[in-house]
Structure 1
Amino acid sequence: MTEVVAGRHRKPEPTYETPRTPREIYTVMSGLMIAMLLAMLDNMIVGTAMPTIVGELGGLAHLSWVVTAYALATAVATPIWAKLGDLWGRKGVFMASIVLFLIGSATSGLAQNMGELIGFRALQGIGAGGLMVGAMAIIGDLVPPRDRGRYQGLMAAVMPIAFVGGPLLGGFLTDNFSWRWAFYINIPLGILALVVIWFTMKLPVRRREARIDWRGAGLLAVAISSLTLLTSWGGTEYPWGSWQIVALGVLAVVATLVFVRAERRVDEPILPLGLFRSRNFTAAVVLTFLTGFAMFGAVTFLPQYQQIVQGASATDSGLLLLPLMAGMLVTSLLGGQIVTRTGHYRTLLIVGSFAMAGGLFLLSTMGLATTQLTSSLFMIVLGVGMGFLMQTTMLVVQNSVGMRDMGAASGAATLFRTIGGSLGVSLLGTLYATHLQSSLTDQLGAAAGAQVSGGQLTPAMLAQLPDGIRSAFRAAVTDGVQSAFFWAAAVAVAAVVAAFVIRQVALRSAADAAREVAPEPVAV
């Protein structure tokens, strides 16, 4: 029934349906987990296939764009998918994002040159933007916050599977079939997810008369694109002080300011700025950003150290990430159970932020003589921190908003985590490359240092070089990795501050959610 509130018609916010049995929820979650696996697995699989892809299609200069196009499209599309789910219902929108992702996967596998592959990867990324945020928002619709921890812990278990299984699967498919199967493998998984979701997911269909904020979406796309290009090109393609980088910085700032102004004037903003009035929401979003920064940075640079300094093979380096993923898996499941049974989450965030910062600092101390056992123990500490943070921060985000804004809030958190990961890889990558070049120059001289660092030097090629050059390169990589992790730890200190800012607020139970309706009507 529509109520008159202060002269306006306002519909009650949606509430939870009749509580579902755990079996019904687990059945629905099986489809959601497959969809999330698609989004997470893709980059991991493609990463190990990239040398073969470049060798067959050519275009080594555009190699980074195969990854950047996907990540950029995902970041831009995430809040749009979230808003579409709020407006038109989550089930149909979520299935549409899976279909678009599968179309992008199929066309990427059929690409005949690098230009086509980059374009199809962008299409794939647009679909991927709806997978993560859609899954989180659907869980928010199905389960009240008080009971959500146990289920979100299971969702977090998908990530270690993707991060460890992805490189192994990508190498196997490339070696035994073709690099194109790195994309084709998504199709049967996606079809299975569609079937499960179609037959098991029963969500209320909510259609609201509203216009999509395309202007806001466009401005947000410009701001994110400019920032991504700035961090990707700064110090590599162009000097930091060049007019290209300065122009991108100015464009990012201007687009952000215009976006903020525009969002204040529309009825249905793509990113409701009012959400940031909540202290807990804002602090939790900062934590998601920093967690993404740490997670993607660690996964990017640890294999470099393991393969070049510790002498592990590409396949073994994937297995050597298991301590990191095990720490994430155990603590995400444990944290979910603790939240479900006690309703308390603030302590988990504080412990997780300290562990994440401490783990990154320990990794910054790795040297030429550090054993695999020692580095594994350091990774466990980092994994424990990220495991406590990843799903708990999403829980705080969703508990800080009403059901009406569940999708927008989940989309904001996912967006900032994606941006954090992108900036983490870009900025830490610049630090890594700068210190590597500087170390090689000091040890080998400018000409030899530039030749070694600028060439395509795989771990197998490194073993064939003279002892002096090999030792210099291993030392340079160690110096670069130490610098990257040290500054990542410095940034992670902000996560400790954000965790202390968050206040313990009671989580909504199913009964509380059922009473979540519009305010009492006010006489006009």
Structure 2
Amino acid sequence: MATTTPDGGVREPAGRPGHARHHGAGTADAPMTHRQIMEALSGLLLGMFVAILSSTIVSNALPEIIADLHGSQSSYTWVVTAALLAMTAATPLWGKLSDLFSKKLLVQASLVIYVAGSVVAGLSQSAGMLIACRVVQGIGVGGLSALAQIVMAAMISPRERGRYSGYLGATFAVATVGGPLLGGVITDTSWLGWRWCFYVGVPFAVIALVVLQKTLKLPVVKRDVKVDWAGAFFISAAVSLLLIWVTLAGDNYDWISWQTGAMVGGSVVLGGIFVLVESRASEPIVPLRLFRNKTITLASLASLFVGIAMFSGTVFFSQYFQLARGESPTMSGVLTIPMIGGLFVSSTVSGQIITKTGRWKAWLVAGGALVTAGLGLLGTMRYDTPYWHIAVYMTLLGLGIGMMMQNLVLATQNQVAPQDLGAASSVVTFFRSLGGAVGVSALGAVMANRVTRYVKDGLAELGPEGAAASHGGTAGGAIPDLDKMPPPLREVVESAYGHGVADIFLFAAPAALIAFILSVFIKEVALKTTLGGTERAGMPDTPAAARVPAAESADVPAGATSGSPADGARDGRG
């Protein structure tokens, strides 16, 4: 007989074939089959694909976009940074909202915001208009990035979540490699043009909306809510001011200057106000008590440094292949496949093995070591380095990122009570996005300075011919047109970009090393086999294990299982 759920919905009998039940409803419902979970995740994965695609598709098209809109090098940087900034600032708010409102509705809202930003971005008539649209896109993408992990946690126990996190990682990998490839093809196709880089994701987003409506069914807790708008404002302001400083320093003013002092000081003050507001808020956007848990603190910090490595790889490789090796936008996407292949394999394989064994720390530590090694080796490359060497280095980097990215979120989700699941998940995602935003801005500024210096040194070696060439087409940070340069000058510019991008990876390697060290100190806690991440905390049918506070579950030895014998039997299900 059908029964009424606390959210006013109707629960069908557990034995009804093919029915996607109210996920996370409790042990009264039979656990979902693999097919049911995949059906429910289909729209979510498609939405995630759209989000990542939008972040990467413009990378190979940016030189042409900025030239067409008559933008500057600063505009070039801000088209990337604006989306990362919005995504970073919005992530904690999306996470908190997911603890208060319908997760399904929030996913759909983030898709609508993304579609609106994309359509208007394709109509941009100036660099400023494009940057503003990228902010809107970033808000939507931030929601999709944060909510994907949260929705998965609401349906799947931590022990089983590894394999499905692998699918999420695989989606990330396909979109990451498909974005630059698709962007390159669109840019190289005369009858399409770069504006289609923004339009192409819209149909996928609309399909994702329809699929989500049909397949994703999650219970909704109806209660009085109070959104911490003050906290959202101050964390956004603090992060924004920090990123503006990082972007402009070294170009508009010196790194050591009164502007630096004002912006860094202002960011620290705003951050302090944010902490004060959160300590007094009834529904804080980032519950500060989460950081009493050592695993959450270490995982958040590790994500910060992983973000630097991850985003630096995806952003600067396109510049290396186009400006140091003279490849087309399409080929520059093809040549990054080894990194994406490594990410695809490691995220999928590690997820499957974690589901079978329940152990995840070894993957984190190995991932940190591989990312550090990959970045260190990439720091040795030059414009004429044999490609197979670079392919090996990129593979190591991809393998490491795939092992760390999803598993840091998994380790965090395994530590929190259900009512904090959204906030805790988004905190880790927030720090990863923050690392990416700061990394892209800071490393981009460093690369511009290095390239200018290497071009000057190379021109000086050419003698009178170099002096006549002056800046080599890089004055004011302009992107050079290699095809219009004489062979000696072109070689100087290619060498400068090859060396400059390598320096970026060398600077990013210590960040990866810190992430590796932090992962060593994360304590391995057995993955729960019960649904600890549902919205039904405190409900009569919520599993008892799901209501155990993080502090009480922290001392469970690795390899132990929680829940009933039936839960243990479920671990190996396909």
* TM-score, scaled relative to structure 2: 0.84
Distance 1:363 1:54, change over 3 A: closer
Q: Which residue of 2 aligns with 1:146?
A: 159
Residue number among 88, 92, 108 corresponding to 2:121 in the alignment: 108
Offset of residue 55 of structure 1:
4.1
Alignment of 1:198-277 (within 5 A): 198-277=213-292
Offset of residue 254 of structure 1:
0.4
- Say whether 1:26 aligns with 2:46: no
Alignment partners' CA distance in 1, 2:548 and 2:412: 22
Q: Which residue of 1 aligns with 2:295?
A: 280
Offset of residue 463 of structure 1:
4.4
Alignment of 1:107-506 (within 5 A): 107-174=120-187, 175=189, 176-445=191-460, 450-454=471-475, 461-506=481-526
Alignment partners' CA distance in 1, 2:528 and 2:25: 12
- Asked if the contact 2:113/2:140 (under 8 Å) is kept, the reply is yes
- Helix, strand or coil: the match of 1:503? coil
- Asked if the contact 2:173/2:340 (under 8 Å) is kept, the reply is yes
**1:328-374 CA-partner distances (Å, limit 9, x unpaired):** 10011110011100000111111110011001111111134421111
Aligned AA for 1:49?
Answer: A
- Helix, strand or coil: the match of 1:240? coil
Aligned AA for 2:53?
Answer: L
- Asked if the contact 1:104/1:121 (under 8 Å) is kept, the reply is yes
Q: Which residue of 2 aligns with 1:7?
A: none
Offset of residue 25 of structure 1:
0.7
Residue number among 515, 529, 536 corresponding to 1:509 in the alignment: 529
- Asked if the contact 1:85/1:94 (under 8 Å) is kept, the reply is no
Aligned AA for 1:20?
Answer: M
Offset of residue 232 of structure 1:
1.0
Distance 1:368 1:214, change over 3 A: closer
Offset of residue 302 of structure 1:
2.2
Offset of residue 510 of structure 1:
2.1
Alignment partners' CA distance in 1, 2:491 and 2:258: 38
**1:104-139 CA-partner distances (Å, limit 9, x unpaired):** 122222333333333222222222221111111000
Aligned AA for 2:373?
Answer: G
Offset of residue 512 of structure 1:
7.2
Distance 1:481 1:49, change over 3 A: closer
- Asked if the contact 2:25/2:219 (under 8 Å) is kept, the reply is no
Distance 1:396 1:223, change over 3 A: same
- Asked if the contact 1:42/1:166 (under 8 Å) is kept, the reply is yes
Offset of residue 408 of structure 1:
0.6
Alignment partners' CA distance in 2, 1:387 and 1:380: 11
Offset of residue 58 of structure 1:
3.1
Distance 1:449 1:258, change over 3 A: farther
Alignment partners' CA distance in 2, 1:110 and 1:443: 41
Distance 1:427 1:54, change over 3 A: closer
Structure 1 unaligned runs (5+)? Answer: 3-13
Distance 1:16 1:73, change over 3 A: farther
- Asked if the contact 1:16/1:141 (under 8 Å) is kept, the reply is no
Structure 1 vs Structure 2 CA RMSD: 2.3
* Farther-moved stretch of structure 1 (406-415 vs 106-115): 106-115
Alignment partners' CA distance in 2, 1:380 and 1:298: 11
- Asked if the contact 1:173/1:179 (under 8 Å) is kept, the reply is yes
**1:498-519 CA-partner distances (Å, limit 9, x unpaired):** 1111111011102777223657
Aligned AA for 1:101?
Answer: Y
Aligned AA for 2:317?
Answer: L
- Asked if the contact 1:240/1:246 (under 8 Å) is kept, the reply is no
Aligned AA for 1:329?
Answer: F
* TM-score, scaled relative to structure 1: 0.91
Distance 1:482 1:69, change over 3 A: closer
Q: Which residue of 1 aligns with 2:51?
A: 39
Structure having the larger proportion of residues in helix: 1
Offset of residue 316 of structure 1:
1.1
Distance 1:430 1:118, change over 3 A: closer
- Asked if the contact 1:233/1:245 (under 8 Å) is kept, the reply is no
Offset of residue 208 of structure 1:
2.9
Offset of residue 484 of structure 1:
1.3
Alignment partners' CA distance in 1, 2:520 and 2:77: 37
Identical-pair percentage: 39
Q: Which residue of 2 aligns with 1:11?
A: none
Aligned AA for 1:492?
Answer: A
* Farther-moved stretch of structure 1 (201-210 vs 299-308): 299-308
**1:253-297 CA-partner distances (Å, limit 9, x unpaired):** 001111111111111101111111111111111222121110111
- Helix, strand or coil: the match of 2:41? helix
Residue number among 47, 50, 54 corresponding to 2:62 in the alignment: 50
Distance 1:200 1:278, change over 3 A: same
Distance 1:52 1:375, change over 3 A: closer
Aligned AA for 1:252?
Answer: S
**1:42-80 CA-partner distances (Å, limit 9, x unpaired):** 132223333443344334353433333222211111111
- Asked if the contact 1:219/1:256 (under 8 Å) is kept, the reply is yes
Alignment partners' CA distance in 1, 2:492 and 2:523: 50
Aligned AA for 2:128?
Answer: G
Distance 1:35 1:187, change over 3 A: same
Distance 1:415 1:307, change over 3 A: same
Structure 2 unaligned runs (5+)? Answer: 7-23, 461-465, 534-542, 550-574
